[in-house]
């Protein structure tokens, strides 16, 4: 091996002497030649703790990266020659940054209940406990009575049917996957009819036309963006008599208002069945509770869609249901069995932790349990302003006297978020913070990156901490985070 590569890839050793930097060479104008070799730095006794902590190969890679940065800096400032200790300290910071955890708990003070960037629905304590219990060995696919293999779907089928009123239910890893599976299983490559006003794009750039195409079916668009009539579906069937499915998509993230029209769901279901078609609905949010008594009108429930005659209703597990990420399908037994035995069902199946958490969440909807109080998402969405205001006052009492920080309670509005009820504002209260030492952007950053991560929002040079999405149990940690950031 050439000497160059032997030096470049030399591993850190455990020699007991300290090697100094090269002395400046007379007549050599290039300060980069004063930098030690990778092996010299790695041979230094100061590298021993790093070797033990991160491994010699990782240390050597980090040292090379630090030397590259040092060379770039010396091209700008010839006097900025780092010491071996300085280079090793920089390498240690790099290694520690790479090795650290990247997923942290966060206090959500944005006022957005189903926050996609923060993991959507926070799980109920029962769901968290169930996932923890399932972390080890369990009877995921084992019938304990017979000792024979069973299906993981059996843990959810009856529960989904019970809480939705359907004959059967199935869950896969997300709602887009549920749409893909349903169309692949029941359309069988035949054309799928969709209203143009429902050709939505969901999070991450996934579009309904793309999902339909991946299922192996051709998309048949009917109507216009704002108006679709029953006669449009009739014309589509005349043009495509081999069509098998009408797909209806709930516009979870937007609303078209004004001069609009579309067939009622029960009318569309009757039309589909009269022509031998199946009606599949991607309901998105997937509410199992009527929220209109709490001032939240217009959000359809899964049960209402089934009563209207929809053959398969698909919805998310981590939105209005308040559980883990999942795509839930509910409907007639024969259709659910067809989905469960399709090859895609295995590719899209839930892992054991999600199965356990989803089952525990669904049990919170069983009578006589009150899901409004026991499912965190529903509690936050329906909580009266008076309770949010009391929480804000409790926090204000803790931070009112902090030096270098101005604070006050401010009326505000939050939102459901996460593809649910986009137009419905949730009145609430926030603590408005103004630092006497930092800008609003700097204060928000300090809150985000402190020992306890806090996410708020900035309005008119103030950092607002919306208390609708903060639990009472989080107030002590939130107080400490504000103190540390101020």
Burial of 238: CB neighbours in 10 Å, binned 0-12, 13-18, 19+: exposed
For residue 2, what pLDDT is reported?
41
Q: Do both 349 and 243 map to the same domain? A: yes
pTM: 0.84
118 within a domain of the structure (yes/no): no
Question: In the prediction, which pLDDT does 252 show?
Answer: 66
- Is the same domain home to 199 and 227? yes
Q: Please state, for a pLDDT cut of 90, what percent of the chain lies above it.
A: 76
Comparing 94-103, 222-231, 298-307, 381-390, the range with the smallest average pLDDT is 94-103
If asked whether residues 223 and 275 sit together in one domain, one would say yes
Stretch among 32-36, 109-113, 146-150 having the lowest mean pLDDT: 32-36
Q: 401: domain CATH number? A: 3.90.1150.180
Say if 300 falls within a structural domain: yes
Average pLDDT over the chain, rounded to an integer = 90
pLDDT at 403 over 80: yes
257: pLDDT strictly greater than 80? no
pLDDT at 179: 94
pLDDT digits (tens, 9 = 90+) for 322-361: 999 999 999 999 999 999 999 999 999 999 999 999 999 9
Q: How far apart are the first and last CA of the chain?
A: 57
Spatial separation of the C-alpha atoms in residues 421 and 303, rounded to whole Å: 18
The CA distance from 227 to 261, in Å, is 5
* Residues 310 and 408 reside in one and the same domain: no
Query: How many C-alpha atoms does 241 have within 13 Å on its Cβ side?
Result: 1
- Verify that 239 and 354 share a domain, yes or no: yes
Tell me: do 438 and 305 sit in the same domain: no
| In the predicted structure, residue 483 carries a pLDDT above the cut 70 | yes
* Domain span holding position 277: 125-370
For residue 120, being part of any structural domain is answered with: no
Report percent pLDDT > 70 for the chain: 91
Q: Looking at residue 158, which CATH number applies to its domain?
A: 3.40.640.10
Dihedral, CA of residue 150, residue 288, residue 179 and residue 308, to nearest 10 = 110
Give domain status of residue 119, yes or no.
no
pLDDT at 5: 34
* pLDDT-wise least confident of 41-55, 196-210, 406-420: 196-210
Structurally, the chain folds into a number of domains equal to 3
- Are 223 and 255 within one domain? yes
Position 166 in a domain: yes
Residue 146: Cβ-neighbour burial (10 angstroms; 0-12, 13-18, 19+): exposed
Q: Which of 370, 399, 415 is the last residue of a domain?
A: 370
pLDDT of 60-109, one tens digit each?
Answer: 999 999 999 999 988 888 888 899 999 999 999 999 888 888 888 999 99
3 state DSSP class of 185: helix
pLDDT per residue as tens digits for the range 260-282? 888 999 999 999 999 999 999 99
Closest CA to 362 of 337, 312, 326: 326
Please work out, in degrees rounded to the nearest 5, the angle formed at the alpha carbon of residue 146 by the alpha carbons of 144 and 150: 70
> How does pLDDT run across 434-468, given as a tens digit for each residue?
999 999 999 999 999 999 999 999 999 999 999 99
Query: 3-class SS at 214?
Result: helix
143: in domain: yes
Same domain, 261 and 343: yes
Q: Supply the Cα-derived Rg of the chain in whole angstroms.
A: 29
Does 262 share its domain with 133? yes
Spell 358-388 as b/e; 16+ CB within 10 A means b: bbbbbbbbeeeeebbebbbbbbbbbbeeeeb
Q: What is the dihedral of CA 46, 48, 52, 58, to 10 degrees?
A: 80
> Which of 321, 346, 370 lies at the terminal end of a domain, its last residue?
370
Q: Determine the pLDDT at residue 203.
A: 60
Same domain? 133 vs 50: no
pLDDT tens, residue by residue, 171-216: 999 999 999 999 999 999 999 999 998 887 766 566 888 889 999 9
Length of the chain counted residue by residue? 486
Q: Which residue has the higher pLDDT, 445 or 33?
A: 445
- Same domain, yes or no: 84 and 59: yes
pLDDT, tens digit, for every residue of 10-24? 344 333 333 444 444
- pLDDT score of 254: 64
Indicate whether 155 belongs to any domain: yes
Q: Is position 130 within any domain?
A: yes
**Whole-angstrom distance, CA of residue 333 vs CA of residue 168:** 5
Statement to judge: residues 180 and 247 lie in one domain: yes
End of a domain among 336, 370, 404?
370
User: Looking at 227-296, which runs of residues are DSSP E strands?
Assistant: 245-249, 278-284
Contact 160, 169 (CB under 8 A): yes
């Amino acid at each position: 091996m050439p000497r160059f590569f032997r030096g470049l890839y030399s591993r850190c050793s455990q020699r007991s002497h300290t090697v100094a930097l090269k002395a400046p060479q007379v007549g050599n104008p290039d300060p980069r030649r004063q930098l030690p070799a990778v092996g010299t730095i790695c041979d230094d006794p100061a590298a021993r703790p790093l070797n033990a902590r991160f491994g010699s190969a990782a240390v050597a890679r980090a040292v090379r990266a630090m030397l590259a940065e040092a060379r770039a800096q010396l091209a700008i400032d010839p006097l900025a020659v780092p010491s071996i200790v300085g280079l090793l300290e920089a390498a240690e910071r790099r290694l520690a940054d790479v090795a650290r955890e990247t997923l942290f708990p966060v206090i959500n003070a944005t006022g957005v209940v189903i926050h996609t960037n923060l993991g959507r629905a926070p799980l109920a304590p029962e769901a968290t406990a169930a996932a923890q219990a399932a972390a080890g060995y369990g009877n995921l696919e084992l019938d304990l009575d017979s000792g024979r293999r069973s299906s993981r779907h059996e843990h959810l089928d009856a529960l989904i049917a019970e809480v939705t009123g359907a004959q059967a239910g199935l869950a896969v890893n997300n709602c887009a996957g549920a749409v893909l599976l349903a169309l692949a299983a029941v359309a069988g490559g035949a054309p799928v009819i969709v209203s143009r006003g429902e050709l939505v794009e969901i999070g991450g750039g996934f579009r309904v036309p793309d999902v339909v195409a991946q299922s192996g079916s051709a998309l048949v668009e009917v109507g216009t963006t704002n108006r679709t009539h029953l006669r449009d579906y009739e014309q589509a069937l005349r043009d495509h008599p081999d069509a098998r499915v009408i797909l209806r998509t709930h516009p979870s993230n937007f609303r078209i208002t004004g001069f609009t029209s579309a067939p009622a769901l029960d009318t569309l279901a009757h039309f589909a069945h009269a022509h031998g078609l199946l009606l599949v609905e991607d309901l998105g949010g997937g509410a199992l509770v009527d929220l209109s008594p709490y001032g939240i009108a217009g959000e359809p429930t899964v049960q209402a869609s089934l009563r209207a005659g929809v053959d398969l209703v698909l919805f998310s597990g981590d939105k209005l249901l308040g559980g883990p990420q999942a795509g839930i399908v509910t409907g007639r037994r024969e259709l659910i069995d067809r989905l469960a035995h399709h090859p895609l069902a295995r590719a899209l199946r839930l892992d054991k932790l999600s199965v356990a958490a989803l089952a525990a969440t669904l049990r919170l909807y069983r009578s006589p349990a009150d899901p409004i109080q026991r499912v965190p998402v529903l509690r936050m969405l329906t909580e009266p302003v008076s309770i949010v205001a009391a929480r804000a006052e409790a926090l204000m009492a803790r931070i009112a006297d902090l030096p270098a920080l101005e604070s006050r309670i401010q009326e505000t509005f939050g939102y459901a978020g996460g593809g649910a009820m986009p137009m419905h504002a949730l009145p609430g209260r926030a603590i408005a913070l103004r630092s006497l030492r930092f800008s609003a952007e700097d204060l928000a950053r300090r809150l985000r990156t402190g020992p306890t991560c806090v996410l708020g929002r900035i309005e008119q040079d103030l950092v607002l901490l919306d208390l609708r999405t903060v639990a009472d149990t989080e107030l002590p940690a939130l107080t400490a985070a504000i103190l540390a950031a101020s």
